[in-house]
Amino acid sequence: MHNIHDESPQTTARAVLAFELARTWWSPHLAWGRATLNLYVEDKLHKATPGGTGGVKSITNHSPAASSSFMQPIKPRRALVLWEARFYSNRLKERESLEKMISMELFTNVSLVSAPTIFTVLAMLVGVLGYLYGPYWGVRKVPGPPVIPFVGHLPLMAKYGPDLFQILAKQYGPIFRFHMGRQPLVIVADAELCREVGIKKFKDIPNRSMPSPIQACPLHQKGMQDGPRCENTLVSLYQPSHLASLVPTMQSFVETATRNIDPSKEEEDITFSKISLALATDTIAQAAFGVNFGLSKPQSNSDSVNKIDGGGQDKNNDNKNDAVSKFTDQYVYSVAQVKMDLTGSLSIILGLLFPILQEPFRQILKRIPGTMDRKIERTNDNLSSRLDEIVEKRMKDNDRGSKDFLSLILNARESEKVSKKVFTPDYISALTYEHLVAGSATTAFTLSTTVYLIAQYPEVEKKLLAELDAFGPADQMPTAHDLQNKFPYVDQVIKESMRLYPVSPLIARETSSEVEIGGYVLPKEEQGTWVWFGVGVIAKDPKNFPEPNKFKPERFDPNCKEEKERHPYAFLPFGIGPRACLGQKFALQEIKLALIHLYRKYVFRHSPNMEKPLEFEFGIILDFKNGVKLRALKRTQKF
């Protein structure tokens, strides 16, 4: 048999290398294929055998004493075992000196085989990291918590909810970073910085940024993105004279909505947030479309609901009510699915993590039955179809006047004050829908939280009732002038409610050019830096509002020292500057009318079945997770 002691160290090293490679072959982590390595091992073993010429496909037994039966090819696996036994029995002392040589050759071979693969993997890794951290790099100097790859700070949002921004402001100061997945937001949580962003540097930060939940819904996106084009046209809708003309209509809807409250059932809960939403939707629908959805009417009276297109009486009341109910359900679902966390549809989640994948995946997912994206798409398609019907009918109406939002838009379009190429029918539908959302969900939220807070603070309720009773008899309806001047405490109660529960804790903006804010230079980048106002943080800053968690309407009394000394931009429930909400006076008038009418007849108490504190869902606006459950009591005492 061939004597291993006659082998050179180099030959032995090659044999050991072959064994090491073969043993490594069985590891599941090896990248290259089995066939290639097998040939490599055979070649190495043959070269290490005296007489080998390289490339021979078998290894033979060279022992002179071996019988012919042993002069057969030895399989590579058996050869490996033999070489292992010989090496560990005769060359244990040489192991240490050979390890370096083996390691170097092994590294060289691995490098040569895997170089293209390694390069490709590294290139992909660099590309992914660049995509994920590119937006971060431009605002890296702005303070903020450590960023978790892919998800950013969304886990913190899931843990703390909207209160997270207060926590971050306390830790990092009045300007800080929050990463919504890949996208960084620069949060401005200081009244003076808000004035700088919203007014002084408005030309550099004029746009509304579009987070992925908005981009997942073209109906929302189109209305929000292009809404500023027609702001001048819409201003007339909210002039004092027009608001005054809406008071009787609002009053009628409020009276109808209160019929859903039965004070005789004192132990029965009412979901006040649903009543508020029905009232607000009916009111804005009349103001926006000139139609009556009839959502506020009690079920027993629902047979008088007008058709959704607003024309005439329908003989098929059941079909008509079903259509209105279906429209409302679709509308509520559409708004509820626009979420700013990881509970939305798959395309929204992808948009938060990988914005580039959102639209392609949305186009795929909306075609797959059972997915949330498909349901949202079908809901929005149905809403669009119904709105298109309303717009088409009104476009054919030659005597539409200027009584509502839709009339103003159509009149402006036909008078060529705005471009017909921009104000297409589908665009008008989207804009009208956005008007519906802005004027219903937000108003309903504020009305619900106001009644919830009044029920929690008896001293506030007593003072409120005294002001209402002092106005006059219960059947005396206030005029627009009365609403402006004769209910100061009601004003203060509403403002304090909006301070404690802002319907939009964050207000979105986006830079159009490089700009410096608070000592930090924010780049424009490809789509602009997102700069958001932390209005919820500012509203609970003890510097602006002492005892910030206490419901104290008197802090908004014009004669109060706190009110006089407060920064003028510490309270921004409707935004700031040219992009502030156009409909704020409309909303306040509606909420005030509702409170006056409700508290002239009833008082409310918290239901024992309602959670404390209130739980919210965080979308483009705040919404109640479980609604506001109250119990109504008929008033028996005058103040």
Beta strand 530-533 with 183-188: parallel, antiparallel or unpaired? parallel
| Contacts of residue 295, Cβ cutoff 8 Å, sequence gap at least 6 | 278, 279, 281, 282, 324, 328
| Contacts of residue 269, Cβ cutoff 8 Å, sequence gap at least 6 | 607, 609, 610, 629, 630, 631
Quote the Cα angle for 488-489-494, to 5°.
100
Binding residues: 581
91 to each of 11, 26, 94, 98, how far by Cα in Å? 13, 25, 5, 10
For the chain, the maximum distance between any two Cα atoms, rounded to a whole number of angstroms, is: 127
Nearest alpha-carbon partner for 22 in 56, 45, 54: 45
Q: Which residues pair with 152 in a beta bridge?
A: 148, 180
The Cα–Cα gap between 389 and 308 comes to 9
Are 507 and 575 contacting, i.e. CB atoms less than 8 angstroms apart?
yes
Block residue for tokens 């008509």: 320
Burial degree of 528 (CB within 10 A; 0-12, 13-18, 19+): buried
Beta strand 520-522 with 515-517: parallel, antiparallel or unpaired? antiparallel
How many other β-carbons are positioned within 10 Å of the β-carbon of residue 64? 6
Are 42 and 76 contacting, i.e. CB atoms less than 8 angstroms apart?
yes
Binding residues for heme: 581
DSSP 487-520: -HHHHHHHHHHHHHS-S-S-EEEE-SS-EEETTE
Are 380 and 217 contacting, i.e. CB atoms less than 8 angstroms apart?
yes
The Cα–Cα gap between 126 and 120 comes to 10
Nearest alpha-carbon partner for 210 in 502, 423, 527: 527
In this structure, what DSSP letter does residue 532 have?
E
Quote the Cα angle for 545-508-174, to 5°.
40
